[in-house]
């Protein structure tokens, strides 16, 4: 599986997917420290920088999956909960625009559970409506890292970290549901 990553950070997804043999095609990160980590950890993978400046049509058909955890500050209950009114959290809609022009078969989007409550739930609804308009079937679930135990990864440090994962597929709804709700897939 070939994938692209936006809001890549130090690329935890790539580390998690290495044992699966999945291949990163490109990253999109703007913060200096994570950019340097990416450069050192993945020297052969290009960092395209600002995700809002990526021409998705140029990358259509090049990846099977787009992954991203757009900024959560506007959704987090630890902040002001400005929701989509916060330009950082509004990047989830830029993620949708990129998804719409690239149209990979799959996507994975991650954020904080506060995304359910900002603006009375209307922000999450807007995100899901944008995804639906593109043609993706989705499933979402809140997972907590404190319950993660991964054989073969002695340095995995489970911690309380609840996150919303939205998995989408261009086609039937059963596939994203299988990814998030079948015990063997977790």
In this structure, are strands 65-68 and 106-111 parallel, antiparallel, or unpaired?
parallel
151: left (phi over 0), alpha (psi -120 to 50) or beta: beta
Kindly provide the residue ranges of all beta strands, DSSP E only, lying in 61-169, ordered along the sequence.
Answer: 65-68, 106-111, 137-144, 162-169
Cβ contact 102:66 at 8 Å? yes
Beta bridge partners of 140: 166
Q: Looking at 7, 35, 72, 92, which residue is catalytic? A: 72
Beta bridge partners of 109: 68, 166
Note if 72 is an active site residue: yes
Adjacency order of strands within the sheet including 65-68: 46-47, 23-28, 2-6, 65-68, 106-111, 162-169, 137-144
User: Which residues form the catalytic set?
Assistant: 72
């Amino acid at each position: 599986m070939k994938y692209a990553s936006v809001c890549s950070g130090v690329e935890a997804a790539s580390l998690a997917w290495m044992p699966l043999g999945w291949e990163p095609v490109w990253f999109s990160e703007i913060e200096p420290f994570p950019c340097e980590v990416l450069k050192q950890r993945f020297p052969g993978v290009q960092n395209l920088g600002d995700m809002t400046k990526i021409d998705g049509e140029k990358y259509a058909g090049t990846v099977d999956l787009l992954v991203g955890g757009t900024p959560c500050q506007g959704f987090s209950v630890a902040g002001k909960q400005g929701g989509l009114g916060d330009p950082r959290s509004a990047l989830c809609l830029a993620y949708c625009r990129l998804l719409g022009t690239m149209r990979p078969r799959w996507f994975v989007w991650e954020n904080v559970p506060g995304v359910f409550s900002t603006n009375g739930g209307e922000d999450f609804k807007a995100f899901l409506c944008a995804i639906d308009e593109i043609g993706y079937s989705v499933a979402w679930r809140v997972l907590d890292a404190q319950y993660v135990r991964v054989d073969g990864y002695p340095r995995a440090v489970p911690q309380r970290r609840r996150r919303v994962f939205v998995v989408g597929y261009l086609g039937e709804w059963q596939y994203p549901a299988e990814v998030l709700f079948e015990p063997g897939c977790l």
